[in-house]
Structure 1
Amino acid sequence: MTLPTPSTEIRPDLVLLAGRVRTGLGSAADAAETDGTGRETLPFDAVAVRGRHIVAVARRADVDGWNTSAAEIIDLGESTITAGFVDAHVHPLSGAESRHNALMLHDCETTTEVAERIAAFAAERGPEEWIRGFGLSFDMFVGHEITNEPFARAFGGRPGYLLLFDGHSIIASPRALERAGIDGTRDFGNNSSIEVYADGTPTGYLIESDAESLVTDLYPRMPVEARVTAVQNKLAEFAASGYTSLHQMNMEEGDLDVLRALEESGELPVRVRVSPLWRASDPWAETLRRMIALQGVSGRRWHVEGVKFMLDGSIDNGSAWLFEADTHGGGLEPYWTPSAQFTHAIHALAESGVPTATHAIGDKAVEFVLDAVQSLPSHAANTRHRIEHVETIPDALVPRFAELGVTASMQPIHAFAQRADGCDMWTTLLGRDSERAANGWRIADLDRSGAIVALGSDWPVEEFDGRKIFAANVTRHRHGSDRPAVDPHQALSPERTLRALTRNGWASIGHPGEGVVAPGARADLAVFADDPLSTDPDRFAESRVLLTVVDGQVAHRDSSLA
C-alpha cells in the first residue's frame, strides 16, 4: 500500500526508513495490516523527501523502485516517524537570554528554601551584581501577604528580583526598588500595580508588565554575540525534543537581528514564527501601522506573522479577568483599558488580513475575545484568530470556539499548578469546590466540541520538552511527579494529542494541510525511538529523538546515528 504520489519518477534527496510511520491522516491511513505470517504491521515504514516536501510515503520494499542515486538513505531501525512537533506558544529568544546565568526556583516549596538558594547564589557574586530568580511558586504564599521580607537579607543589599511562576509578577529586592525609584503606588491605567503596606511603602510585589518593567528593564542586556549563541543553543534543544516549528508569542528589541545573525552562519534547527506583542499602553495608530508593516518580514526559516495581545493577566496574582471577583476581591478588570480599544484593534488588523493571538486566561476575558471575533464584519471574517491559555471557561463558551473558528492554544503542563488538596493559589483564588475551579484547562471538552486545540509549552514559564508535553496531555500528570493526575477526564488520547502537537498547530495559522506525513506536505519530520501512540506515555517522555527534519534537511541527528 502506498499513499497517492505524483505519477512522475520518484527521485528523492532524502529517504528515511523506520519501523512505522504515523501519518497523522487518521486511523484509516495508519491502520495495521496482517502479513502472510499473521503478524500485524503498520502500512508505511518509508518516507521520501525531495527539496522541501515529502514526495512518497510507502513500504521499505517500494524503495527499490525509486531513483535513489542522489539520495541520503537513513535506516532508523524500529523507530517511528511522525510530523514534527509544533510548540504553539513559546518565548524562545527572550527566554534564552533571561534564563542565562539565572537562579531556577521551580522546585522550591518554602520561602526559607528560596532564601537559602538566593544567599548561596549571591555569595558567588559582587556586591552590586544583579540576582534574578525564576519559577517562584505562589503556593508558599497561600494565606500570607506576598512581600520581599522573607528574601531581603538573602539578597544582601544587591539589586534583584524573583519572577513568580505565572510570569506576570515579580518580587523585587529593596535595592532594586531603590534603583527603580519605586517608593509608593502608581496609576498605570490598567491592572498593573505596585503593592504597598498599610503605611504606603512598597512591599516589593509588582504585578503585571507595566509595574514589573520598572525593575526588570534595569537589568543589563546580554551582549549581542552571547545572545546569538544562547539562542542557537536553545533552538537546538527544542529540535532535540522533537520540535520542528515554534510559535514565538512576543518580539523583543533585537530579536530579528539575532535571527538574521543565526542565518548568516547556517540554518535554524527549527522554524520560528514571530508574533509581536501589542501592549495596551502602546500608541494606537502608530502601533497599528507598525504591526501591519512587520507582517511578512522574514528569513529562510523564520517570519513575522500575526499580532499577540494580552487582554488579562493571571489567576494566581489576581489580574485575570473574571465574571465574578476572586476570593481576594480581584479579577474584575482587564489589562486592556478601555477594553473597547482591544476590539477596535482586532477589527483593524482583521481588515488588513492580520491574524491575532490573544492571551485570555479568565472566563470573562475569553468571552470578550470571542465576542470581538464574532463582531467582525463579514469581509474580514476569514482571518485566523487564537485564544492563548484559556484556563477556566463555563459550559456556554466551549462550543463557541468551533462555531467561530477560533483556536484554543493551550498548555497542559500549566494545569499542574493545581494541587489535590486545593491549597494552591490558583484554586484558592477561584474558590475551592467552585464551578470555575472545576472548569480548568478543558482541553478534552474543547477538542470534542470540534475546536482546533493547539498545544504548547509557554517556555520559559514551564518546561518545553515536546515528549513531556505529549505525556502530560495523555496522563494529566507531570512526568516524574508523584502527585495524582489533575482532572484526568480532560486528557486526550495519544492519537488526538499527536494531532494537537502537529497538525493543529499548522491549522491554527491557516495551513490545515501541513503537520502530516503525506506526499506534498512540508518535510518537517520527527523520528522517535518509541511509538508515541502505542508506548506508555511516561516511557515516551524519555524516548530518544533520533532525527528531526526541517524543510527537507536534517536539523537534529542523535549521537547514536553519527
Structure 2
Amino acid sequence: MSGSLLVRGGRIVGLDEGGSRPGDVRIRDGLIVEVGPGLAPGGEPVLDAGGSFLIPGLWDAHVHFMQWVRSTTWVDVAGTAGPDEVCARIEDALATRPDDGRAVIAFGYRSAPWRERPTVAQLDAVTGDRPVVVIAGDAHNGWLNSAALAYLGLPPRTGPLAENDWFPVFGHLASLPGADPTDAEVDAAIARLSALGVVGLVDLELDAAFRAWPARIRRGQRSLRVRAGVYPHQLDEVLAASWGTGDDLPGGEGLATMGPLKIIADGSMGTRTAWCCDPYTDATPDDEHPAGGPNVTASELADLMARAHAGRLASAIHAIGDRANEVTLDAFAATGASGSIEHAQLLRREDVPRFAELGVVASMQPHHLVADRDTAGTVWADRTDRLYLARSLVDAGATLALGSDAPVSPPDPWLAMATAVHRSGDERPGWYPDESITVREALAASVDGQRLVVGGRGDLVVLGADPLEERTDPTATRDHLLSVPVRATVCAGRVTHREG
C-alpha cells in the first residue's frame, strides 16, 4: 500500500556536511529510487517543492501514543505548588463540565518539591462520586479519588500510587467511563503529527501497541510508521509469535513493525524514585529510600534483556538516575543485547563513553530539562552538571535519538531540537550550555538514521526555510527552529500533510 511520488524543485539539506543543494526525489512503492536535479516525471504524481528545503521525515523516538491522545482533553495541573492548588484547579474544571458520569483526568503535577504530600481525602473533598485521576507530569505516579479507586477495583488507600503499583493502573485508564478516544480523535491527533513533519514514532504504550497499530492500519490509517514496543507482561506473547525488532507486524502493511522490549529500571526525579548513587540532596533522615531505588533488580533486568536478545528483540531500558544507568549499561555488556537507554538523564562521567563502546543508543527527551531544571536544583543540587549530557555523548561517539515521552512533553520534534540546541525554555540562558548540540546534530538525531538517498525510505518533509540557517545566538537559533514552516509531509510515498 506504499505510494509513488516525484518531489521536484527542492533543495536537499545536508545532514552530515555542507549546506543545501538542488535536488528532486523520486519515490516508487515507498522507497527512494532516484535523487538528482531535473528529474522528469514518469507517470507518478508530482509534488512541486518550489525551491523549498527537503529533509528526511521526522521521528519521535519515545511516545506513549494513546496516553498522549487522551491528554488533549485532560485538566492541566502543571506548575502547581501543592495539593491544594491541584484540587482548586480540578474543582474549577468540574464546574465547567457536564455532570455526565464521565471520568475526569488531570495531568502535570510534580510533587518532589512540595512540602505537603497529597491525600485521597483532599481529592474526595472536591470531586464527590465522580471518578477523578490526577497523573504526575512524569507519569510515574497517579493520585486517584475514592470513586476512581472503586471503579478500577482497587482497595481504599490514603495517598497516590507510584511506580510498579501505578503502572498497571495507568495502562488501564481507558476502562474509565468516557476516557477512551474515538477513532476520529486518534486520526486528528495523527494529523497534528503529520503537520509537524512527523512520519514515524516509537510507541511505548503500556499495553499491546503491537496489536493496536495493525488494527488502525486495517481501518485505513496509513500516515505514520510505527515501531510498537512490548512490556514484560506481554513478552511471552511476542516471543511465541517470533516477532523480532524490525519485523513487519501482521496487517501492518510495512508501516507497523515490532519495536523493543521496554523495561522500567527505576523511577523519576519528580517522584523521588530515580535510582541514584548518592542520596537526594534534600533527603531527610526518615526517607525510606533517600537515593531512590530500582523497579527491577539487576539480575531481573539482565534476565529479561537476555530473553529479549535471544528472541531478536532490542531492549529499551528506562533509566533516569546515575545508578540505574550504570546498572543498565552493565546489563547490556553482560547480555550482548542491542537497544537503547531511554532518558539517560543523569550519568556518571565514566559511563558516557560506554554508550558508544556498547552500541547503546541514548534516547533522550531534551524538553524534559525545561520542567526539571528548577526541581533538580533542590533534589539533585550537587549533580546538576551531569544532567542531559548530549554534547558529551555525541563527542564520545554515541548515537542520539531525540523524542518527547509524550504526554510528558509535546510530541513536537522542533521543540525537542530547539531545546537540545538552546537548553532553556524561558528567558534564562541555556542550562549548562556546554552540553548543547548543534542544529545539524539535533536534526540528524530526529530522522531515525535516514537520508534522502537511493534506497532510503520514501519519507520526507518539505520546509519553507533552511533549518540549518545560521543565527547570531542560541536564543535566535531556538526561535528559528520553532518557526520553520512545514509545507508538506510525505510518508512511504504518500502525501500526509500539505500546507493550506
Q: Please state which band the TM-score falls in when normalised by the shorter chain.
A: 0.7 to 0.9
Q: How big is each residue's C-alpha offset from its partner over 1:446-471, in whole Å with a ceiling of 9 and x where there is no partner?
A: 01100001100111111111221121
Contact 2:105 2:132 in 1 (8 A): yes
> CA separation of 1:534/1:155 partners in 2, compared to 1, >3 Å: closer, same or farther?
same
State the alpha-carbon separation in 2 of the partners of residues 224 and 332 from structure 1: 32
> CA separation of 1:352/1:127 partners in 2, compared to 1, >3 Å: closer, same or farther?
closer
Query: 1:406 Cα deviation (Å)?
Result: 0.6
Contact 2:344 2:388 in 1 (8 A): yes
> CA separation of 1:483/1:390 partners in 2, compared to 1, >3 Å: closer, same or farther?
same
State the alpha-carbon separation in 2 of the partners of residues 459 and 234 from structure 1: 12
- Return the letter of the residue paired with 2:379: L
Gaps of 5+ in 1: 1-11, 32-41, 185-201, 507-514
Q: TM-score, normalised by structure 2?
A: 0.87
The residue that corresponds to 1:88 in the other structure is 61
Contact 1:389 1:411 in 2 (8 A): yes
SS in structure 2 opposite 1:120?
helix
The residue that corresponds to 2:295 in the other structure is 335
The residue that corresponds to 2:27 in the other structure is 49
The higher relative CO (CA closer than 8 Å, separation ≥ 6) is in 2
SS in structure 2 opposite 1:412?
coil
The residue that corresponds to 1:542 in the other structure is 483
Query: 1:245 Cα deviation (Å)?
Result: 1.0
Q: How big is each residue's C-alpha offset from its partner over 1:367-426, in whole Å with a ceiling of 9 and x where there is no partner?
A: 1111111112xxxx4x5221000110111000000011111000000111234xx4x2x3
- Residue 76 (structure 2) pairs with residue 104 (structure 1): yes
- Return the letter of the residue paired with 1:335: N
Identity of aligned residues (%): 26
- Residue 367 (structure 2) pairs with residue 413 (structure 1): yes
The residue that corresponds to 1:14 in the other structure is 5
The residue that corresponds to 1:460 in the other structure is 407
Contact 2:83 2:116 in 1 (8 A): no
Query: 1:112 Cα deviation (Å)?
Result: 5.1
Return the match for 1:307 from 258, 261, 264.
261
Aligned length: 480
State the alpha-carbon separation in 2 of the partners of residues 106 and 225 from structure 1: 22
- Return the letter of the residue paired with 1:77: G
> CA separation of 1:256/1:452 partners in 2, compared to 1, >3 Å: closer, same or farther?
closer
SS in structure 1 opposite 2:323?
helix
- Return the letter of the residue paired with 1:429: V
> CA separation of 1:130/1:362 partners in 2, compared to 1, >3 Å: closer, same or farther?
same
- Residue 452 (structure 2) pairs with residue 517 (structure 1): yes
> CA separation of 1:229/1:549 partners in 2, compared to 1, >3 Å: closer, same or farther?
same
> CA separation of 1:386/1:214 partners in 2, compared to 1, >3 Å: closer, same or farther?
closer
The residue that corresponds to 1:397 in the other structure is 351
- Residue 161 (structure 2) pairs with residue 220 (structure 1): no
Contact 1:292 1:354 in 2 (8 A): no
- Residue 108 (structure 2) pairs with residue 135 (structure 1): yes
After superposition, residues 165-244 of structure 1 pair within 5 angstroms as 165-177=137-149, 180-183=153-156, 202=158, 204-211=159-166, 213=168, 217=172, 220=175, 226-244=181-199
Q: Which moved more, 1:305-314 or 1:113-122?
A: 113-122
Q: Which moved more, 1:299-308 or 1:262-271?
A: 262-271
Query: 1:222 Cα deviation (Å)?
Result: 7.2
Q: TM-score, normalised by structure 1?
A: 0.78
The residue that corresponds to 1:427 in the other structure is 377
> CA separation of 1:230/1:291 partners in 2, compared to 1, >3 Å: closer, same or farther?
farther
- Return the letter of the residue paired with 1:375: A
Q: How big is each residue's C-alpha offset from its partner over 1:340-363, in whole Å with a ceiling of 9 and x where there is no partner?
A: 121112112212322111101111
The residue that corresponds to 2:473 in the other structure is none
The residue that corresponds to 1:266 in the other structure is 220
After superposition, residues 315-326 of structure 1 pair within 5 angstroms as 315-326=269-280
Query: 1:484 Cα deviation (Å)?
Result: 3.8
- Residue 500 (structure 2) pairs with residue 555 (structure 1): no
After superposition, residues 359-508 of structure 1 pair within 5 angstroms as 359-376=318-335, 381=336, 383-419=337-373, 422=374, 424=375, 426-430=376-380, 432=381, 434=382, 436-478=383-425, 481-502=426-447, 505-506=448-449
State the alpha-carbon separation in 1 of the partners of residues 295 and 400 from structure 2: 25
State the alpha-carbon separation in 1 of the partners of residues 260 and 171 from structure 2: 26
Contact 1:443 1:492 in 2 (8 A): yes
Q: How big is each residue's C-alpha offset from its partner over 1:484-512, in whole Å with a ceiling of 9 and x where there is no partner?
A: 4222221111111111111xx34xxxxxx
Q: How big is each residue's C-alpha offset from its partner over 1:186-221, in whole Å with a ceiling of 9 and x where there is no partner?
A: xxxxxxxxxxxxxxxx2x222114246458747635
Query: 1:230 Cα deviation (Å)?
Result: 2.5
- Return the letter of the residue paired with 2:332: V
Query: 1:174 Cα deviation (Å)?
Result: 4.0
SS in structure 2 opposite 1:530?
coil
Return the match for 1:527 from 454, 457, 462.
462
The residue that corresponds to 1:187 in the other structure is none
Q: How big is each residue's C-alpha offset from its partner over 1:107-148, in whole Å with a ceiling of 9 and x where there is no partner?
A: 555655533321122122428542210112336x43333435
Return the match for 1:344 from 300, 303, 315.
303
- Return the letter of the residue paired with 1:553: R
State the alpha-carbon separation in 2 of the partners of residues 470 and 335 from structure 1: 30
State the alpha-carbon separation in 1 of the partners of residues 132 and 242 from structure 2: 37
- Please give the root-mean-square deviation of Cα atoms over the aligned residues, in Å: 2.8
State the alpha-carbon separation in 1 of the partners of residues 121 and 479 from structure 2: 40
- Return the letter of the residue paired with 2:356: A
Q: How big is each residue's C-alpha offset from its partner over 1:509-535, in whole Å with a ceiling of 9 and x where there is no partner?
A: xxxxxx101122111111111211116
Q: How big is each residue's C-alpha offset from its partner over 1:10-47, in whole Å with a ceiling of 9 and x where there is no partner?
A: xx9422234521143x21xx34xxxxxxxxxx432322
- Kindly name which structure, 1 or 2, has the bigger radius of gyration based on alpha carbons: 1
SS in structure 2 opposite 1:161?
strand
